[in-house]
Structure 1
Amino acid sequence: MENRTFAFIKTDKKLIKIFLKDISIIRGLGNYVEVHTIDNKRYIYYKTLKDLIESLPDEFMRVHNSYIINLMNIESFEDNHLICGDLKITVAKSYKECLQTALGKMML
């Protein structure tokens, strides 16, 4: 399961298959998370961000106490804000340096 490309989440009493590359952001809602996909679908299920980040691959990074983003789906980063599709996410000061390092490794 190390090189998995998808995951199942339990939402609305059913298991939904989500490809990891299609996840743009994950937003924390207390003991629940809201998964946003690149095709503008949203899924809410029971799990905390802290538990979730430990099971996600390296291309996912926490950028705020309430947000995990998929580095592959970032459109732009400017002035402490990330743009992922229609969503604008503020990057917390404590996560900014780590994010800049990760993005620096992806630069041409």
Structure 2
Amino acid sequence: MTNKQDFTFIKTDKKLIKLNFDDILFIKGLGNYVEIFVRNNKKYIYYKTLKDLIDKLPEEFMRVHNSNIVNLKNVEYLEDNHLIIGKHKITVAKSYKDCLSSCIDKLLL
């Protein structure tokens, strides 16, 4: 098995669901739970905090707000203080803006 794991399993609705990291658009925190938004307008509720989750996610995932983690691979564009992913508009908090900017700078051509 390679070191780079490109999927995970989450337990939701008494099922173990395989999730490809590339399919995850963003993750929204709800206290001790998170809502994981994936392609095809699906979302899963998972019993885990954002803080626990961010440590286990690959590096293309970035916290941009106290209640949001985004998958930079799926961001379509950045406008003002918002990231646009499909039909979702995610606010970038001031405290995370510098970190996001430096991350995006590294990705520029």
Find out whether 1:51 has 2:52 as its counterpart: yes
Q: What residue in structure 2 maps to residue 102 of structure 1?
A: 103
Find out whether 1:70 has 2:71 as its counterpart: yes
Contact 1:38 1:85 in 2 (8 A): no
Query: Which segments of 5 or more consecutive residues in structure 2 lack a partner in the other structure?
Result: none
Q: Distance in 1 between matches of 2:97 and 2:79?
A: 11
Cα displacement (A) at 1:18: 0.5
Equivalent position SS for 1:55: coil
Q: What residue in structure 2 maps to residue 60 of structure 1?
A: 61
- Identity, in percent, stands at 64
Q: What residue in structure 2 maps to residue 16 of structure 1?
A: 17
Amino acid of the structure 2 residue aligned with 1:95 = Y
Q: TM-score, normalised by structure 2?
A: 0.96
Pairwise CA RMSD:
0.9
Amino acid of the structure 2 residue aligned with 1:59 = E
Equivalent position SS for 1:2: coil
Query: Which segments of 5 or more consecutive residues in structure 1 lack a partner in the other structure?
Result: none
* Residues matched between the structures, number: 108
Cα deviation per residue 1:8-27 (whole Å; 9 max; x = unaligned)? 00000010000001101000
Cα displacement (A) at 1:78: 1.2
